[in-house]
Amino acid sequence: MSVVVEAQTRVTRLFDDLAGFWTEIYSAPGVAGGIYRRRLERALAWVESLDLSPGAPVLVVGAGAGFEAIALASRGYAVTAVEPAAAMIAIARTRAEAAGCNGIRWVRGDVHALGFEPASFDLVVALGVIPWLHSPNLAMTEMGRVMRPGGWWLGSVDNSHRLDAFFDPARNPVIAPRARAVRNALLRKRPSFEPKAAQHSSNALRRLLDCAGADRIAEVTFGFGPFTFAGRPLIGDKAGKAIDAALSRLAERGTLIARSSGAQRLALARKREVGVRDI
């Protein structure tokens, strides 16, 4: 098996195994649950601001348990949802049926190789998927290929400058590159090694968007915590939520440090019209 096929197999297996967790996280009472709910709310608010036509074709990649696909289908868009993990698709389908969204096209597939015609979608949504990809540049090129010129990309990455990582040596960015190198070496030696989510800076995200031929229109970071030390919780849930809320307020006001150090980085970008770059 090639290295990339093996890497993807491991990621898919992880999400098959954790399908229940990635469904329940949205209703979890803790800090993490609140961050995922906020990500979805913000993403949907941005979509609403785009004024897409009713029935516009929308692609959701890494659809997971179907939260964003169902929300977008309920708003009247023609949603195609791509997801490699069979257990996640099964949950997403059941949830969609329960919500009365029967028109979603579910595709068991991989964002690195999308089987759609070029320029088929007005909007591509990629929430929480880029951190898990073995070849994010390739995936972004592929997403760019299926977006129509002037169409939109909306997605998230895990922020490499996140504040919570500074408090935990295991996640501190000074140590992280070495940790990544060790992990990559282990990955080659120990096939059972668990995949971990990659993190991206604002510049790294801009380079990814460039692969899709898209220009960033808006970007925010948000979500502070859960704060840990050596992987263990540093503070209780109640205090954690209060800190998250206070820092989020500062971030929204554009306060220095807070505005760029949230755990999640959410971006909206627009695909260049043909030839725009050459003018």
Ligand X SMILES: C[S@@+](CC[C@H](N)C(=O)[O-])C[C@H]1O[C@@H](n2cnc3c(N)ncnc32)[C@H](O)[C@@H]1O
What is the rounded end-to-end Cα distance, in angstroms, of the chain?
A: 45
# chain residues binding ligand X, by CB under 6 A? 24
| Cβ 253 to ligand X shortest distance, Å | 26
Residue 140 to residue 148: CA distance in whole angstroms: 14
Stretch that binds ligand X, among 64-72, 94-102, 143-151, 175-183 (CB under 6 A): 64-72
Exactly one of 47, 59, 71, 111 binds ligand X (CB under 6 A); which one? 111
Q: Does 158 bind ligand X (CB under 6 A)?
A: no
The first and second tokens of residue 278, run together, are 């050459």
Is 152 one of the binding residues for ligand X (CB under 6 A)? no
Distances (CA, A) of 85 to 156, 198, 221: 19, 19, 28
Between CA 273 and CA 113 the distance in angstroms is 23
Nearer to ligand X, 199 or 258 (CB): 199
Work out how close the CB of 66 gets to ligand X at its nearest, in angstroms, rounded to a whole number: 8
Least distance in Å: CB of 150 to ligand X?
24
Residue of 106, 132, 222, 227 interacting with ligand X (CB under 6 A): 132
Q: How far is the CB of 20 from ligand X (least distance, A)?
A: 12
Please tell me what DSSP assigns to residue 263. S
Candidates 34, 35, 46, 67; binder of ligand X (CB under 6 A) is 67
Q: What is the DSSP letter of 260?
A: G
Pick the closest to residue 225 from 264, 255, 252 (CA basis).
Answer: 264
12 to 51: interface string for ligand X, x by CB under 6 A:
x--x------x-----------------------------
88, 101, 143, 220: which one contacts ligand X (CB under 6 A)? 88
Instruction: Report long-range pairs for 77-81 (Cβ below 8 Å, ≥24 apart).
Output: 77/52, 77/123, 78/103, 79/103, 79/104, 79/105, 80/104, 80/105, 80/107, 80/116, 80/121, 81/105, 81/106, 81/107
Q: What is the DSSP letter of 120?
A: -
Interface contacts to ligand X, rule CB under 6 A = 8, 11-12, 15, 22, 61-64, 67-68, 82-85, 88, 110-112, 127-129, 132-133
